[in-house]
A and B are shown apart, each in its own frame.
Chain A
Amino acid sequence: MKNDPSLLEVLRQQGVSRRGFLKFCAATASLMALPPGMAPVIAKALEQAHRPSVIWLSFQECTGCTESLTRSHAPTIEGLIFDAISLDYHHTLQAASGSAAEEARMAAMKANKGEYLLVVDGSIPTADPGYSTIAGISNLEMLREVAADAAAIIAVGTCAAFGGLPHAKPNPTGAVAVSDIITDKPIINVSGCPPIPVVITGVLAHFLTFGTLPKLDHLGRPLAFYGNNIHDRCYRRPFYERGQFAESFDDEGAKKGWCLYKLGCKGPVTYNACATTKWNNGTSFPIESGHGCLGCSEPNFWDLGGFYNALSEPSVNTGNAAAFGLVAGAAVGAASGIMARKEKDNTSHAHQKVTVNDLKRGESQ
């Protein structure tokens, strides 16, 4: 591993300038909500870091997470950082196959014992190990074996983080999340179906810089990316505030870009960075493309009552209450305006002409 080129060298070979690299470090620092002063620290750590060994296990999954992370857009520094890790085992991407592939995994585990990162995508079936096996080894067994000597585990995608689609009712395979099986290792959940690429590079950069995992929320997700919900950061939020909603996908409101809440948008209960970092090289995110958020980074998002059902429908007739509120508010406003005007009139009547003799206080007040 000592002869491996450092990250910076790898990036240089791929034509990334130092300026571009520092920009990436600054962006990572700000994305991770670290103070700006941390950017040079990240740069220094990444410059010297040797390629960390990464073993990537794919279980009950659709390969969408891998696609998201490797093919989301033309080479960017995020992509190149990802290339720069020593991806020693990834059965979608590796050239080796059969027993050679499994030997590579064993060799990497042995050479980097206790230091390698384990990335998992896909959930683990527990009902019958036969539902998903690799090289004749059940997912459960392989996870336990590789996790034993890993430094940390990154559960990529909602399947690995929370069970995801395989876990949806009635969950025939008995699918569970990584954290349901492994309890003695630091696990970081990068949820999403699929997750945003920059989140995983951010987590990697943090791990390489500080040797620790970033701050996590109660579901084990990095707070820096999952700290705000989509709704709070949504550019359509002002329409929500004004009560302007699209009622169907082809009405005036939809054309005008109004809020999609009534069409089932799960933005208010979904914590992710889509609305700020966006997708496809910052092009847009689902709501910007006209569809409500599915809530894919939340546990059990498949079972949240239908993608096109609004989160909650008011149970009583709010029309009268709103009208009453409006009238009462207007009345209070008008009354206070009248009071202010009357007060102002009083002051004009009370005005006494000021002459130069009135500019000083009287001696015997």
Chain B
Amino acid sequence: MSKATLERGINALKEQIDTPTAAFFSSCVNCGLCAHACLFYTETCDPAKTPIHKLEPMRRLWEQEYTLTGRIRKWLGLGKPITDDELEQWSELAYQNCTLCGRCSMVCPVGNDITYMIRKLREGLSAAGHAPDGLIGATTRAVKLGSPMGVTLKALEAQAKHVKEDSGLDIPFDVEGTEYMVLLSSMEIINYPEYLQAIAKIFDQAKKTWTISSEAFEATNSGIQIGTSDIAAELVQRVVDAAEKLKVQTVISPECGHAYMAIRWEGPNLIGRPFTFRVQHILEVLDELREQGLLQVEGVEDGRLTFHDPCQLVRRGGVIEQPRNLMRLVVDNFVEMKDHGKMNWCCGAGGGVSAIEEAEEVRLKAFNRKKKQLSKLHVDGLVTACANCRIQIEEGLEENDMDMPVIGLTEILANHLVEKETGGGSSA
């Protein structure tokens, strides 16, 4: 209908300011602790990157529109209106310099969920037309082509064919009434097709029924990253429709942090009703299989390995113990980074940052935090559970001449599966 305007942006921001937001803004004591929790601050020492400061236009709008003194000031002509220039400036802080990793929210002494508010600020910025081009492109492709990277069903089918050739296993498409419906991220389809083969092998061993929907195989939700709930809801609705059409019990979010957060936590709120199916991250599923004795592995990895926690899994999703249980199955020499689990440092590329071309420099700078963590550990390799983290870490390591393999946890488990026929029959 209409194009993005400042008015639309400001209206969207005003709409986003809710009771928690008002409580958070009024209880901020300007202590600055969030700065030291943010890798964009610690790696640049630029005070503008203090998380709470990234919310300044929204804070001012709250003050002007929703507080008595602010309204009086505005009425007396003393309030400073929000301008386009300002939003443009803050777009850089809120999109390029924030991965929505949630670490700032963890340290806030008064309990302010800063990440929650930056997500809201993005609503206003995107409605005002100040979202970065990279994210607009990804979102447009996600809506129009079904994948932010423009990966089509054809490309996925080609990968499925490769899996069949490699392992002899069929990738089931559009099978009704299965236990699981598997979602994939474009990054996995293109860069890490091993994941697809890994789950095929694991489910084959566990004798679980599963399928992929040809109508909604994409898990990543660019609508969340760009911060437009209307679009995010549309993308969630596609998955919900497909899952309900196929009458599956559980939808599995792939090795991707934001995809999980989008479908698991934001999803039902976005579409305004509870799902009729469960949503689990692949690591939660694998740990359940392990508990039920359905994940039979043999042998261990040779080297000293560590695990990088994807922010959205640990801080927003509480998936902390599962990867550790799984790591210990196949890794003898498993070491933890100093800050791990719910306080792990972000890789530096989540929350849409990896889709923004202009953010490349700051993204690699932010990686220094992970580099420092890794160089202290002297590990032979790193395991993670997010394709986006994985690609950022691989790129960062290469940039810093650090030679170290990065591998997905699902894949490493699949490599250690007890081979068919040797364990005493798999007739069914």
Contact = CB atoms under 8 A, between A and B. Distances in A.
A351 B8 CA distance: 8
B139 interface: yes
A340 interface: yes
A339 interface: yes
B179 interface: no
A354 B226 CA distance: 12
Interface in A312-365: 332, 336, 339-340, 343-344, 347-348, 350-362, 365
B14 A343 contact: yes
A354 B131 contact: no
A356 B143 contact: yes
A352 B1 CA distance: 9
Contacts of B17: 344
Interface in B208-224: none
Interface string B1-42: 111110010011011010000000000000000000000000
Nearest to B84: A361
A355 B232 CA distance: 10
A351 B15 contact: yes
Q: Which of A350, A351, A354, A360 has the most CB of B within 10 A?
A: A354
Interface residues of A, number: 22
B228 interface: yes
A356 B67 contact: no
B394 interface: no
Interface in B81-126: 126
Contact of A354 (B65, B140, B228): B228
A354 B66 contact: no
B356 interface: no
Interface string A281-325: 000000000000000000000000000000000000000000000
A336 B68 contact: yes
Given A350-B11, A354-B228, A359 B71 contact: no
B126 A359 contact: yes
A327 B65 CA distance: 24
A359 B11 CA distance: 15
A347 B14 contact: yes
Interface residues of B, number: 29
A358 B3 contact: yes
Interface in A251-289: none
A362 B7 CA distance: 14
Contacts of A352: 1-2, 8
Nearest to A341: B66
B71 A358 contact: no
A358 B127 contact: yes
B3 A360 contact: yes
Nearest to A350: B11
Given A356-B139, A365-B3, A348 B68 contact: no
Contacts of A347: 11-12, 14-15
A114 to B, nearest CB: 52
Nearest to B139: A356
A354 B5 CA distance: 11
B64 to A, nearest CB: 10
Contact of A361 (B1, B3, B67, B68): B3
A354 B143 contact: no
Contact of B2 (A332, A340, A348, A358): A358
Interface string B125-149: 0110101000010011001100000
12 contacts: A336-B68, A339-B71, A340-B67, A344-B15, A347-B11, A347-B12, A347-B15, A350-B11, A354-B126, A355-B231, A358-B3, A361-B129
Interface of A: 332, 336, 339-340, 343-344, 347-348, 350-362, 365
Given A358-B8, A359-B140, 11 more contacts: A336-B67, A336-B71, A340-B65, A347-B12, A347-B14, A354-B228, A355-B230, A357-B3, A359-B131, A360-B129, A362-B4
